[in-house]
Chain A
Amino acid sequence: MAEKVKPGKGASQDKKEWWEEEFQGEWWKGVDWIKDHGAEPSGIMLFVDYMLDKAIITPDAVKIASLIPHRLILLEIVHPTKGAEQLSFMISPTSVNPGLPDAEPDLVLSFNYYDLARFLMDKEKDFTMPFWLGRARIYGNLTVLIDLADILEVAKGKKIDKAKENRPFIWPVGHP
């Protein structure tokens, strides 16, 4: 007689999400630009720490940001277990504020906390990849996402010329 399978012990129960396999233990402790190593940083702190320690002090990132028209972006960073955080990010002039913006944003981005961490920690070079893969959501003007990706990717070492070359011909850097 075949052995009965106990409910709740199926193979699907044991399957881990991709972020559980990639981000194990106290992963944040080895990252130099994260300031508070006491606990897993919030999504907002992760982004702010990176912007302050990396992007704003990278001359090329500042240079490409200066070519981009005024943009207001609402970033929704969704942690799989802790919930969502909102962050208002403005380009030209640059400002980062927690919470919802006081005007209608050009773009709303909603993406996984660990996708952001992956990108900021150089595990993924392409900021936009989660969006093409269908793991993240976009509402609004696509050129704004490309602008944001250009700034963040140039801060991580991408050349400005390469960033310009990678843009769609119809929307070069600075296109409204």
Chain B
Amino acid sequence: MSGPLQKGKLPKELTSEMESTAKASQYLRAAVRALRDFLPIEKKRRVWKTLEKIFEAEPIKQSDFQMYHRGGYAQSPQKTAYQKEGMEIALERNIPAYQQSLMEPMGQRDLRSVTISQTDIRVEPEALHYLNNFAMQQMYDDIKRTVILNLDIPHRTIQVRAGKEVTPESVNQYLRSVQHTIGGGSILLEQVADVDPVLTSDAYCKIITGNDEIKDFIDPRFIIDIDKMFHESKVKKLKEAIGDTIHLVIRAPTIAVRTADAGAAFKWGAMNSIIAFIGTYRLARDSVISDIAFATRQANVVLLGDRGWPSRAHAFNEYGGIPFGYLADICQGDSELPAKPFLQVALENEELARKYISKTLGCLSIVVPVLSEIWAGLYGSDNFSLTPGLVVASICADIQEDFLDIMTNLASKYFARITRTNIHVVPARWYNLRWVIETIVHEIMTTMEKYPTMMELLWSGIQRTFLLGSMAANMAALLTGSTTAGLWALRYTNALLVKEGWLRSAAGDEMVDHIGMPNSCSLRLEEGGLPELQGMNSPANIFGIAQAYGMAGLGYCAALARGDPWVCSPIVKVAFADPSLKFNFKNPLADIIAGAQKTYKPAGERALKKEA
């Protein structure tokens, strides 16, 4: 007999199951109704306002009646312009070029420009691709072309082996000489060809020292002045850590690293600094030169990145070999803020605490995703154009800003209270952190589910895991001051919570390595080692570009929690506080926006010199 099921005729086991299901549905509906009561709060959220502007509709709207009627790529002025350019190129070279008609039929998606967080500036995603945005390239170039040499050993060698006197005058003379050689100028042999200084105008060298007497006798043009670049509470700690030694920060010309690779920066810097020694101290035709060469270029060198593996980037200073702790030290947003434990700041003033977060994570969330884009795009899989998604997730539409608001609010309202008992960090125990991480992650996942417009921007699982993992890692490290605790949070979120909420599909599937929590505490080399010293070449991180920001962020946040002025190296921290750098590491967003708007002027351009 067919027909609708009648309750009275069904077996009792089934009816009781139906009743319990109905009760569960009622409970769920009640919860959804209750959430609607809190719509005014949602409307006050930063992300609501921004998404409303971007999509010109209520951000939680569930229906899209325009789907398939949008006109495909023609929605995007940038893609339309590319199509026109592609046609012109094809006609000119007689080989087909960029052609949108080769795409699958498009038009179901709403292609919109996105707003840069905390601004009204709108850009198309193409403007955030590392090959379209010259500021992004310059950022990486500035990292690649930095090499730091210690001058104490060569100075000692010159005194002992060559019998020359090292005086304040000779040190300044050396620094003048090295500015000439580092740009490709010759000193010893007048018949050799020099490099056009216009092409290498971004090449220079500066000194770092923690000793005020040394600082006083060096020409101020050659100094990265710690006193001027950092808050006074940080100055003392940085000077003590650096000590009486002298470091030479070399910026090889951008054109050199663009012509060869980052390894060229080391060779270029080492050779030209040795030549400057030879010129300054008149060491030509002397067997002591080999000792000075070794003392200068080998004995005490700080390279930003170790070698990667041959099939990808094999040179020094490439992204794969840069420790995450150095990436945090490269960021300078927090330089002018006092070195205070974060929870103490949070207790005193929530706005100031938010400023700390904006200046640290705000800076890091640009530097790391951009480098991860380049890593995944060029070193990992070649022109992998998905990756601008990471930058969209971190700096667009106020999405991350909104989550950071929640994180700071929780820390200020609750965790900061512990500072009244003279404790500045929460004890790093798993059971102290698990529920905090779950609370933060569930709130973010709920937000993503509530806002379909947000999911239009965070269309890839990698974007979502990128945000979820990093927020959890940053929060755990910010509370405990422990990078290992941050790593627990990162692994727990990405390996367990994301899959528990959304299964492996959509988000979980795009985490290539689902690294379990026991791995977080391992110091075995193949499992990573200390979190600050891990990099993208650590085996578990190679393809996990969504984890890079969390990995660097947990180091930065742990230092912020402890009130430390640097994460991994005071020398790297000071080296990138240099205002003469081409890229602005203090306010990277300004340069990235200029790059997106095509107003940024990078270094290393071959077409700079106008021939007479």
Checking A134, A170, A175 against B432 with a beta-carbon cut-off of 8 angstroms, the contacting residue is A134
Asked if residues B439 and A170 are in contact (CB atoms below 8 Å), the reply is no
0/1 per residue, A52-75, Cβ < 8 Å to B? 000000000000000001000000
Asked if residues A128 and B414 are in contact (CB atoms below 8 Å), the reply is yes
Report A-chain residues with C-beta under 8 Å of the C-beta of B44. 169
Q: Would you list which residues of chain B between 411 and 433 have a CB under 8 Å from chain A?
A: 413-415, 417-418, 421, 423, 426-427, 429, 431-432
Contact-size category for A = 20 to 34
Asked if residues B406 and A168 are in contact (CB atoms below 8 Å), the reply is yes
Which chain A residue lies CB-closest to B343?
A132
CB distance from A21 to the nearest CB of B (A): 15
Report A-chain residues with C-beta under 8 Å of the C-beta of B431. 134, 137
Asked if residues B38 and A172 are in contact (CB atoms below 8 Å), the reply is yes
Given contacts A139-B435, A169-B409, A170-B409, A132 and B34 within 8 Å (CB-CB) = no
- Residue B410 lies at the interface, judged by CB distance under 8 Å to chain A: yes
Secondary structure at the A interface, as helix, strand, loop or mixed, is: loop
Given contacts A138-B435, A176-B31, A132 and B406 within 8 Å (CB-CB) = no
Given contacts A142-B435, A168-B409, A170-B443, A134 and B417 within 8 Å (CB-CB) = no
Asked if residues B410 and A129 are in contact (CB atoms below 8 Å), the reply is no
Residues on B facing A (Cβ under 8 Å): 31, 34-35, 37-38, 41, 44-45, 405-406, 409-410, 413-415, 417-418, 421, 423, 426-427, 429, 431-432, 435, 439, 443
Which chain A residue lies CB-closest to B35?
A176
Asked if residues A142 and B409 are in contact (CB atoms below 8 Å), the reply is no
- Residue A167 lies at the interface, judged by CB distance under 8 Å to chain B: yes
Asked if residues A169 and B41 are in contact (CB atoms below 8 Å), the reply is yes
CB distance from B6 to the nearest CB of A (A): 30
Asked if residues B38 and A133 are in contact (CB atoms below 8 Å), the reply is no
Cα distance, A129 to B419, chains bound together (Å): 11
Asked if residues B413 and A167 are in contact (CB atoms below 8 Å), the reply is yes
Asked if residues B426 and A133 are in contact (CB atoms below 8 Å), the reply is yes
CB distance from B403 to the nearest CB of A (A): 10
Q: Which residue, A133, A142, A170, has most C-beta atoms of chain B within 10 A?
A: A170
Q: Would you list which residues of chain A between 95 and 140 have a CB under 8 Å from chain B?
A: 126, 128-129, 132-134, 137-140
Checking A128, A133, A170, A176 against B406 with a beta-carbon cut-off of 8 angstroms, the contacting residue is A170
Report B-chain residues with C-beta under 8 Å of the C-beta of A166. 413
Report A-chain residues with C-beta under 8 Å of the C-beta of B41. 169-170, 172
Asked if residues B435 and A134 are in contact (CB atoms below 8 Å), the reply is no
Asked if residues A133 and B413 are in contact (CB atoms below 8 Å), the reply is no
Cα distance, A80 to B417, chains bound together (Å): 25
Q: Would you list which residues of chain A between 147 and 176 have a CB under 8 Å from chain B?
A: 166-170, 172, 174-176
Asked if residues A175 and B410 are in contact (CB atoms below 8 Å), the reply is no
Given contacts A169-B409, A172-B41, A132 and B417 within 8 Å (CB-CB) = yes
